Structure 1
Amino acid sequence: MQTYLKLKEFCQLVHLSEDVVKGMMANGALNFKEEEGEIYIEANQGTFSVVPTSSKQPAMVNSMTLAGESFVEKTIGTILNLHEKVLDAKDETLEALKGENKFLKDALYSMQELYDEDRKTIENLNEQLKYARNEVEFLKRKYKMMWNKTVELYANSPENPEEIKEEK
């Protein structure tokens, strides 16, 4: 019983490109049939054609080797390209983070300086407030003593004894 696979399925199975498989079909290395616009390759005979079994098919091995080598080269090239892009993105990210860290560090130093200045201003204002409170307290005592003395002098003065008596 013969089993046929579509061209794309066969290419995926043997890991070859369609061009290489079509070249093998043109050389007669693969049995195939075409139905309704689709190409079908005989799976049993096709796998033996792809895998070398003897030394009488060195050309087939060479074409597969070349196809495999180009695939490997393309894959390595793609990987290297992606690796380069990742490294560039990493470098850009590191530069952006360094810039952001410098900005944040400068902002932190600036905030610390402002905090120190504000703390000195608050200490200065507290000292001034303490001095002003002491001054007010001193003036209260001074005026209280002065007014007490004035009231006593006025109360003991002989000129107005009746006014004081009337008020009492």
Structure 2
Amino acid sequence: MKTWLSVRSYAKLIGKDYDEVIKLIDNGAVVSKEEDGEIYVETDSQQTLPAKHASGDILKVDMESGDGIQFVEKTIGTILNMHEKVMDAKDETLEALKSENQFLKEALMSMQELYDEDRTTIETLSNELNATRDELEFMKRKYKLMWGKVVEKHAGESS
């Protein structure tokens, strides 16, 4: 999350004059907005380190001066903002996983319903097949009895 500082506070934070910051705003090097006649500059974690400390040297903050206290406050604010971003990203990830799990659950339920329908269909077809087999066996016995008598009768006449 970005923070907005007044031009004077921003100039003090980065160790530049008010006019230099205005030139940076005019050149488009710094994002700014104007509210109630006051100009604010957008800052992030890269911009909160004062230019005099950005070289990578050991950071020395004079806690007696107002600049040191402001620097520490801004740094803590930046850390809190970054923590908030991480928490938001975590929440977004959890929501995405929850929606994916819901989708998979619904897909699984749909497949289970299809499986149940297929099982019912197979059971119905198996019952019909068994009934057809029973009927076929009955017809075979009936025709065997009927044709068996005809064959015996026909065999008796020809002798």
CA distance in 1, matches of 2:49, 2:139: 100
CA distance in 1, matches of 2:137, 2:129: 12
CA distance in 2, matches of 1:96, 1:75: 31
Per the alignment, residue 110 of structure 1 pairs with 114
Larger RCO: Structure 1 or Structure 2 (Cα < 8 Å, ≥ 6 residues apart)?
Answer: 2
Per the alignment, residue 67 of structure 2 pairs with 63
Per-residue CA deviations over 1:115-144 (Å, capped at 9, x if unaligned) read 111211111111111211221122113212
Per the alignment, residue 156 of structure 2 pairs with 152
CA distance in 1, matches of 2:53, 2:102: 53
Per the alignment, residue 144 of structure 2 pairs with 140
Q: How many residues align?
A: 111
* Aligned-pair CA distance for 1:102: 0.7
- Larger Cα-atom Rg: 1
CA distance in 2, matches of 1:96, 1:140: 65
For structure 1, list consecutive stretches of 5 or more residues without a partner in the other structure: 1-15, 23-38, 53-57, 156-168
CA distance in 1, matches of 2:156, 2:127: 44
Q: Which residue among 84, 97, 102 is the counterpart of 1:80?
A: 84
Per-residue CA deviations over 1:24-75 (Å, capped at 9, x if unaligned) read xxxxxxxxxxxxxxx9x8x9xx97xx576xxxxx32xx32222111111101
CA RMSD of aligned residues (A): 2.8
Per the alignment, residue 31 of structure 1 pairs with none
Q: State the TM-score, normalized to the length of structure 1.
A: 0.56
CA distance in 1, matches of 2:122, 2:90: 47
- Indicate the percent of aligned positions where both proteins have the same amino acid: 7
Q: State the TM-score, normalized to the length of structure 2.
A: 0.59
CA distance in 1, matches of 2:125, 2:137: 18
